[in-house]
Amino acid sequence: MPFIIAIDGPAASGKGTIARALAAHFGFHHLDTGLLYRATGAKGGDPVLAAQTLTSGDLNRSDLRSAEAGQAASRIAAIPEVRAALVDFQRRFAAQEPGAVLDGRDIGTVICPDAPLKLYVTASDRIRAARRAAELGADEAVMLAELQERDRRDSERATAPLKPAADAVVLDTSHLSIADAIARAIAEADRARQGPVIRTSPW
């Protein structure tokens, strides 16, 4: 039975970095599900058809990490037919042995609701904007406005809105180093892999 780690959270919260580190640490497969939506948006044309015909090769485009691709992904992710077309792709990926780490915005709530570990990675708006600005060499104020608009759109969409699963572990990386954030995530995964503690009466 593959062990699935579902990681959700807003842009620039650190979820991708944490997801890659967890996959490497445990020898699991990793999927940045945001790339599916970025690649679908980058293909252009009818987004539903683009999602239905998406291939693994489409995920290797060099322009998928741009701010423009991120905004396009957020817009098409609000289309129910697009999300439906990509659900099976993600669930098949999650079923791989020995385990998989998927990061996105609806992994714990929609794609893998039964995952034994769900993390919701977040950080303050200004810290996320500073991180994204440094990554892209962009203006921090512009990044803040774009992130807040994307957060609003992702959180308010009718289908699979961005929100933590009811049983998700919330990890705020605002004031954590990368190493500390990864260490906390690994500790949570170790606890989840050990399973629930069964307490017996001493009497």
pLDDT tens profile 79-88: 989 988 999 8
pLDDT value at position 117?
97
- Bond into 116 cis (ω within 30): no
Q: How far apart are CA 28 and CA 103, in angstroms?
A: 13
Read off the tokens for 97: 């042995």
Does 13 carry a binding-site annotation? Answer: yes
7: in domain = yes
Q: Are 44 and 162 in contact (CB under 8 A)?
A: no
Strand partners of residue 5: 101, 117
Does 161 carry a binding-site annotation? Answer: no
pLDDT digits (tens, 9 = 90+) for 168-194: 999 999 999 999 999 999 999 999 999
154: in domain = yes
Does 23 carry a binding-site annotation? Answer: no
| Cα dihedral across residues 80, 82, 88, 90: positive or negative | negative
pLDDT digits (tens, 9 = 90+) for 95-128: 999 999 999 999 999 999 999 999 999 999 999 9
Does 43 carry a binding-site annotation? Answer: no
Does 74 carry a binding-site annotation? Answer: no
Does 41 carry a binding-site annotation? Answer: no
Give the chain's domain count: 1
Does 17 carry a binding-site annotation? Answer: yes
Note the pTM of the prediction, 2 decimals. 0.85
Does 163 carry a binding-site annotation? Answer: no
Domain hosting residue 128, numbered range: 3-190
Q: Are 31 and 90 in contact (CB under 8 A)?
A: yes
Which CATH number covers residue 109?
Answer: 3.40.50.300
Kindly report the length of the chain: 203
198: in domain = no
pLDDT band, residue 47 (cuts 50/70/90):
very high
State the average pLDDT over residues 84-93. 90
200: in domain = no
pLDDT value at position 149?
93
pLDDT band, residue 65 (cuts 50/70/90):
confident
